[in-house]
Structure 1
Amino acid sequence: MRTGMVIVCVVALHVAVHAGDWPSWRGPNRDDLSTETGLLKSWPEGGPKKLWDTREAGLGYSGFAIVGNRLYTMGSDGKEQSSSDFLICLDIETGKKIWQLKVGQYLENGWGGGPRSTPTVSADGAHVVAIGAQGDVVCAKTADGSEVWRTAMKQTNQDDPKNLGGSVPSWGYCESALIDGDRVLFTPGGSLGTVACFNLQTGEKIWQSDEMQELAHYSSIIVVNHFGRKQYIQLTASKLFGLDENGKLQWQADFPGRVAVIPTPIYRDGSVYVTAGYGAGCMLVKVSADNQVQEVYKNNEMKNHHGGVVLVGEHLYGHSDSVGIICQKFDTGEQVWTDKKRDGSKGAVAFADGMLYCLAEGSGECFLVEAVPGGYSERGRFTLAPQTEQRNPQGRVWTHPVICNGRLYLRDQEIICCYDIKQQ
């Protein structure tokens, strides 16, 4: 990958986010629920038709933000200490690179280096924000990839007014920035405040949540309407908490996270669900209108590592460590069914048009499952191909599948594949 900015001719226009676009991590509502309809209900042998594949994504596990005819992701240009993380823009019709922008220095770790964060596109489509593994935060213009502003989450000189006081987590900063109107939120962690809020246009800090001083882990912030008032909810290794729009702590609950807390919280009508792997299990809390917290349940039915969980109707679907893909009641935490007879199902889960799109992290198999509480019903399976030769031996196919505008996007390191999943 070249370190120069741009590769093909760019028209200096941007496209506002519309219904059906996928502008950030886990989609517009950060829940991995696509509103797509008219999709295939079963797949032929060999899977749906592939439209293209590209090797221009760089190394890493970053997901996709898709707005208009552009796909935004991240990748590094190598595995050496001198390598860099890049924000990358591709054409969704061809997979060809439109532009790239250096974000920060590459971070190596035992499970494979490269960025894990997904870029976030603003509602007007004019800006995109990306987070590098070392904690560099960059805002760029979507039209041409030119840099608007940048900051760094990692601890700098304590006398520096721009110091956010963060420390890089073991596997790097992995969260995806939240854009809420003209604000950008992310999680430096540390004694200066767990969450920071910046002005999207200028890059000036608005606030940092000094009442909460937890270290950053790997989950991403969600924004919710909590009984008529905006709240930002985040999860760390030991705390689940809500902040108001001024960064003031509204409530908190203990969560027994262990080695790595990764999945994004799920909110519905005052209830907040979280889960993590390494035996941490899952928890549901009820937060009242006046921010009183009641634990509804805490159990080990769902122990989701990092493939994510989706809430469809009254049921949760996701992979539980050492069990398999399960269906779980949201309000009680009871397990409804599991596919534990099927090996190798650990991985990511997304939802669209009544179906679960599951991607096995070990084999790269993608399989289609009905999202119904009546039992596990698979409707097709194929193996992602080609697969990378550059993956760390300990690494996996960790990028979450994305369904957008009748297409399925999958990634294995530098390779992105695009499939047509529309009904004909």
Structure 2
Amino acid sequence: MKKSFLTPLLFFVLFQFNYAESNFTDSLNWPQWRGPNRDGFVSKDSPWPSTIDGKYLTQSWQAELGKGYPGPVLSDQLVFTIESVEGSEVVHAIDRKTGKPAWKFEWEGQMKVPFFAAKNGSWVRSTPAFDGENLYVCGMRDVLHSLNAKTGEVNWKVDFVERYKTPLPAFGMVCSPLVDGKYLYIQAGSGFVKLNKKTGQSIWRSLVDKGGMFGSAFSSPVMEEINGKKQLVVQTRTDLTGVDPESGQKLWSQPIKAFRGMNILTPSVLNNQIFTSSYGGKSLLFDIPKAGKKQSIVQNWENKQEGYMSGPIILDGYCYIHLRKQRITCLDMKNGETKWISSESFGKYMSMVSNGKEILALDEDGTLYLIDPNPEKFVIKESRKISDSPTWAHLAVSGNQLFIREIESLVCYSW
């Protein structure tokens, strides 16, 4: 019997369909803090709104919640977020299409933060992480839960205060967990911890501090390959550090000046260089030279502009960052030169997302901006008051949907 030419053709068509379907599904996910790569970027092949006009970008649904700062985290079907209610914290799974609740899980967990931070609320802060199967959720009182993402059932729980006999973090747990392969990494328990993500068992604990008011980290780690060596880049309250993922040992370390240890940004790693900026410090670019088995860190340049809480967008050799003085600036990554500073003043926090061509930026006052990343001048292409509520959480963009976590609700927009 002769083989039909349709057989390989059919196989090819099915393969292409499954491949495209797989890629489409992958592109729907916003699985962790600041997106797929923790840098604020969506895939260049992902959908992107051509305008933020209210006739084009429209509200699909709104889910009322208790107060909270965590950014939305997405699977292909669900969106996850956390709220603080009286005496407890609650994680919600909500259907992406309809806004209807899928499940929720609650635990005792609220606490008060110091008075100078309490003006913005003593609400849950850490953005969860999703690994395709399970959700990893942090509560204010240094507690981490692993939950089945489809059902909300508890896989395991770690109370870092109990495990390491450490004080409660003064500002609550802020760091967002990082999942890499079989392991999970987080700044908790007055240090930096590696856990088995299936069991919650500690593998090692590093970068230990005294905890309390001047301990307990604000920043979240990233995993990068620098000069051929895979490593964790971690910003504590005092230092920028490279950590070996196998042993937990320091590879290099650099003090970062900041007022009251306000080292909040997630470090940005690009081409064997690391960018950071701090409240009460400066904007800094460091090189990690390639030199035998040992690595070191060398300052490339510094700029007096101070970042605060908002992670930058680094695109085509330029860094676009929201500053402590509530303006946006563009820095030349080659030499640290300030290209421009916006004349417009914004809120204390602004989350930024980019597709490599434009920047979507959400100000804490509820204004959404579409910005042209132009190193020659500050260009707002469009702006829109999209929320009457404070919007401190990070944006999430996925598929043709935009998710905004207001202080007391989660809102889905689509185009």
When the two structures are superposed, what TM-score results if normalisation uses the length of structure 2? Answer: 0.85
Counterpart residue number, 1:321? 324
> Do the aligned residues in 1 keep the contact of 2:28 with 2:398 (CA within 8 Å)?
yes
Query: Equivalent of 2:125, from 106, 111, 116?
Result: 116
Q: Does 1:360 align with 2:363?
A: yes
> Do the aligned residues in 2 keep the contact of 1:211 with 1:248 (CA within 8 Å)?
no
Superposition deviation, residue 41 in structure 1: 3.4
Q: Does 1:42 align with 2:39?
A: no
Give the 3-state SS of the residue equivalent to 1:18 in structure 2. helix
Counterpart residue number, 1:187? 187
Q: Choose 33-42 or 367-376, whichever is displaced more.
A: 33-42
Q: Following the alignment from structure 2 to structure 1, what is the Cα–Cα distance between the partners of residues 94 and 331?
A: 37
Counterpart residue number, 1:402? 396
Counterpart residue number, 2:13? none
Q: Does 1:151 align with 2:152?
A: no
Counterpart residue number, 2:15? none
> Do the aligned residues in 1 keep the contact of 2:31 with 2:129 (CA within 8 Å)?
yes
Counterpart residue number, 1:132? 139
Superposition deviation, residue 348 in structure 1: 2.1
Counterpart residue number, 1:199? 196
Q: Following the alignment from structure 1 to structure 2, what is the Cα–Cα distance between the partners of residues 130 and 38?
A: 28
What value does the CA root-mean-square deviation take over the aligned residues?
2.3
Superposition deviation, residue 28 in structure 1: 1.6
Superposition deviation, residue 309 in structure 1: 1.0
Query: Equivalent of 1:372, from 349, 371, 374?
Result: 374
> Do the aligned residues in 2 keep the contact of 1:323 with 1:338 (CA within 8 Å)?
no
Unpaired stretches in structure 2, ≥5 consecutive residues: 1-21
Counterpart residue number, 1:350? 353
Amino acid at match of 1:351: S
Q: Following the alignment from structure 1 to structure 2, what is the Cα–Cα distance between the partners of residues 358 and 306?
A: 14
Counterpart residue number, 2:4? none
Counterpart residue number, 1:3? none
Q: Does 1:91 align with 2:99?
A: no
> Do the aligned residues in 1 keep the contact of 2:72 with 2:404 (CA within 8 Å)?
no
Give the 3-state SS of the residue equivalent to 2:125 in structure 1. coil
Superposition deviation, residue 333 in structure 1: 1.7
> Do the aligned residues in 2 keep the contact of 1:103 with 1:136 (CA within 8 Å)?
no
Amino acid at match of 1:221: P
Question: In structure 2, do the counterparts of structure 1 residues 345 and 354 end up closer, same or farther at CA, with 3 Å as the change threshold?
Answer: farther
> Do the aligned residues in 2 keep the contact of 1:46 with 1:381 (CA within 8 Å)?
no
Query: Equivalent of 1:65, from 67, 73, 83?
Result: 73
- How is 1:3-14 mapped onto 2 (pairs within 5 angstroms)? none
Question: In structure 2, do the counterparts of structure 1 residues 62 and 210 end up closer, same or farther at CA, with 3 Å as the change threshold?
Answer: closer
Counterpart residue number, 2:242? 242
Q: Following the alignment from structure 1 to structure 2, what is the Cα–Cα distance between the partners of residues 174 and 335?
A: 30
Superposition deviation, residue 32 in structure 1: 0.7
Counterpart residue number, 1:28? 36
Superposition deviation, residue 103 in structure 1: 4.3
Amino acid at match of 2:250: L
Once the two structures are superposed, what CA deviation does each residue of 1:36-55 show, in whole Å capped at 9, x if it has no partner?
Answer: 54423333267721111111
> Do the aligned residues in 1 keep the contact of 2:171 with 2:216 (CA within 8 Å)?
no
- How is 1:157-236 mapped onto 2 (pairs within 5 angstroms)? 163-188=163-188, 190=190, 194-209=191-206, 215-236=215-236
Once the two structures are superposed, what CA deviation does each residue of 1:108-149 show, in whole Å capped at 9, x if it has no partner?
Answer: 331212211111011xx1111011111101101112000011
Q: Following the alignment from structure 2 to structure 1, what is the Cα–Cα distance between the partners of residues 126 and 307?
A: 18
Superposition deviation, residue 21 in structure 1: 1.3
Superposition deviation, residue 104 in structure 1: 4.1
Q: Following the alignment from structure 1 to structure 2, what is the Cα–Cα distance between the partners of residues 342 and 386?
A: 18
> Do the aligned residues in 1 keep the contact of 2:182 with 2:197 (CA within 8 Å)?
yes
Unpaired stretches in structure 1, ≥5 consecutive residues: 1-14, 157-162, 388-395
Counterpart residue number, 1:12? none
When the two structures are superposed, what TM-score results if normalisation uses the length of structure 1? Answer: 0.84
Amino acid at match of 2:94: L
Question: In structure 2, do the counterparts of structure 1 residues 346 and 60 end up closer, same or farther at CA, with 3 Å as the change threshold?
Answer: closer
Counterpart residue number, 2:9? none
Q: Following the alignment from structure 1 to structure 2, what is the Cα–Cα distance between the partners of residues 280 and 18?
A: 38
Amino acid at match of 1:357: L
Q: Following the alignment from structure 2 to structure 1, what is the Cα–Cα distance between the partners of residues 134 and 226?
A: 27
> Do the aligned residues in 2 keep the contact of 1:106 with 1:114 (CA within 8 Å)?
yes
Query: Equivalent of 2:265, from 259, 263, 266?
Result: 263
> Do the aligned residues in 2 keep the contact of 1:325 with 1:345 (CA within 8 Å)?
no
Give the number of equivalent residue pairs: 379
Q: Following the alignment from structure 2 to structure 1, what is the Cα–Cα distance between the partners of residues 297 and 332?
A: 20
Q: Following the alignment from structure 1 to structure 2, what is the Cα–Cα distance between the partners of residues 382 and 247?
A: 45
Counterpart residue number, 1:5? none
> Do the aligned residues in 2 keep the contact of 1:304 with 1:320 (CA within 8 Å)?
yes
Question: In structure 2, do the counterparts of structure 1 residues 364 and 47 end up closer, same or farther at CA, with 3 Å as the change threshold?
Answer: farther
Once the two structures are superposed, what CA deviation does each residue of 1:45-67 show, in whole Å capped at 9, x if it has no partner?
Answer: 67721111111x43111111111
